[in-house]
Amino acid sequence: MNQPTALARQVADEIGFSGALRMSQRDIVVQEFATGFAGRARRIPNRVDTRFATASATKGMTALAVMSLIESGEFTLETTVREILDDMLPMVDERVTVAHLLSHQSGVGDYLDEESLGDIDDHTLDVSVHSLERPIDYLPLVDGIPQVFVPGERFAYNNSGFIILAIIIEKVTGSYHEAVIQRVLEPAGITAGGFFRSDDLPDNTALGYLGNGRTNVFHLPVIGIGDGGIYLTLNDVSAFWKTMFAGEIVSTRSVEQMTTPTHMGDDGQGYGLGFWLKDGGDHVALVGMDPGVSFRSTFRQSTGAMYVVMSNTSSGVWPISRALDESE
């Protein structure tokens, strides 16, 4: 790993990286650093234990909470949305199942169609961000959007699908956030990370910055839900991968299901249930991007090689992660 570790630092220096990075081999840290500022106005530096927003990495946590509920017998992968939510979302095809949502093959209309987005920093929501505290608060965003294609017909990355999964989790358990904390974060040994309000962030948490130097507070929901928004540290991410593949969050059988490709693209990249995959599922990744947020972490099952790059800017992660991926 000597060459990749030097490469990561070199690229970080070249781009003026703001964030934190860790590379490890079978739980042994071989490279770790943090640069830039968590709070620019007061010049508060990023540290290796700083919490960063992770955007869509949250989808992996949501997926694990769903699998945990399946293991508890609450429903199955083949249970339809309609069976759980009745007529709450009438525009969702009655054939859409939990598996369709987890694998981005539901065909439901997406409130945040990433293919149509321009500059990520220009993205705003159609409702007041302070009103989005619980999954049910997203109904004005996800309800009423027509079905796009027949469930199971193809893969199309979909944020609404994971909002619907959060609504399902809350309907079954009473609280999406508490379910993820109790069923995923606590078993994973995630002690610093969690769901935090953007207007009440704990100490040692990085603010997200746009290209114009402003923070992202008006661009994202006040607190994360099913499709994005959880905060994590480097230690949290390391603990997450270790415990997940040890079967300490859900069973190893469920992990195998989640890391078996349900879709493979022409570029060799696939998707399972909540996770991006390559090499037949040996290479597992979580990826996230929002205004003022970028995140990528990969874990290779065969070698135990892991890296995580997290940034409080919209694009800070990509030059480093691209260099690391190409050096494999």
Size of the chain in residues: 328
Is the model's pLDDT at 322 over the cut of 60?
A: yes
pLDDT for residue 22: 98
Residue 291: CB atoms within 10 A of its CB come to 24
Q: What is the pLDDT of residues 242-293, one digit of tens each?
A: 999 999 999 999 999 999 999 998 888 999 999 999 999 999 999 999 999 9
Residue 265 Cα distances to 50, 106, 141, 156, 277, angstroms: 35, 17, 29, 11, 10
Residue 2 has pLDDT above 60, yes or no: no
- The pTM of the full predicted model, rounded to 2 decimals, is 0.96
pLDDT of residue 4: 81
Question: What is the rounded average pLDDT of the residues 127-139?
Answer: 94
Residue 203 has pLDDT above 60, yes or no: yes
**CB–CB of 245/256 below 8 Å?**
no
71: CB partners within 8 A, 6+ apart: 250, 251, 254
Residues 118-156, buried b or exposed e (16+ Cβ, 10 A)? eebbebebeeebeebeebebbeebbeebebbeebbeeeb
The pLDDT tens digits of the residues spanning 91-112 come to 999 999 999 999 999 999 999 8
Phi, psi of 324 (to 5 degrees): -70, -45
Domain boundaries, the chain: 2-326
- Identify the DSSP state of 53: E
- 220 pLDDT above the threshold of 90: yes
Q: Judge whether residue 297 has pLDDT over 60.
A: yes
Give percent of the chain with pLDDT exceeding 70.
98
Strands ordered across the beta sheet of 28-35: 28-35, 19-25, 305-311, 293-300, 283-290, 276-278, 270-271, 263-264
Q: Report whether pLDDT(114) > 80.
A: no
User: What is the distance, to the nearest Å, from the Cα of residue 207 to the centroid of all Cα atoms in its chain?
Assistant: 18
How many Å from the N-terminal Cα to the C-terminal Cα in the chain?
Answer: 9
Cα-based distances in Å from 202 to 22, 122, 197, 218, 230: 22, 26, 9, 18, 13
Arithmetic mean of pLDDT, 64-73? 99
- Whole-number pLDDT of residue 120: 76
Cα–Cα distance between 293 and 55 in angstroms, integer?
A: 7
Q: What is the mean pLDDT of the chain?
A: 95
Burial readout 186-214 (b: 16 or more C-beta within 10 A, e: otherwise): ebbebebbbbbebeebeeebbbbbbeeee
Angstrom distance (rounded) from CA 244 to CA 166: 20
pLDDT of residue 121: 77
Does position 58 have pLDDT exceeding 90, yes or no? yes
- With tokens 């017909």, the residue in question is 153
Cα separation values, 253 from 13, 246, 281, 286, Å: 41, 11, 14, 20
- Span 2-326: which CATH code? 3.40.710.10
- In terms of C-beta density within 10 A (0-12 exposed, 13-18 middle, 19 or more buried), how is residue 87 classed? exposed
| Triad 120, 125, 127: Cα angle to 5° | 170
Percentage above 90 pLDDT, the chain:
90
Instruction: Quote the pLDDT of residue 125.
Output: 83
For helices 159-173 and 58-71, angle between their N-to-C axes, nearest 10 degrees: 40
Contact in structure between 151 and 99 (CB atoms under 8 Å): no
Residue 183: is its pLDDT beyond 60? yes
pLDDT given for residue 126 in this prediction: 81
pLDDT of residue 118: 60
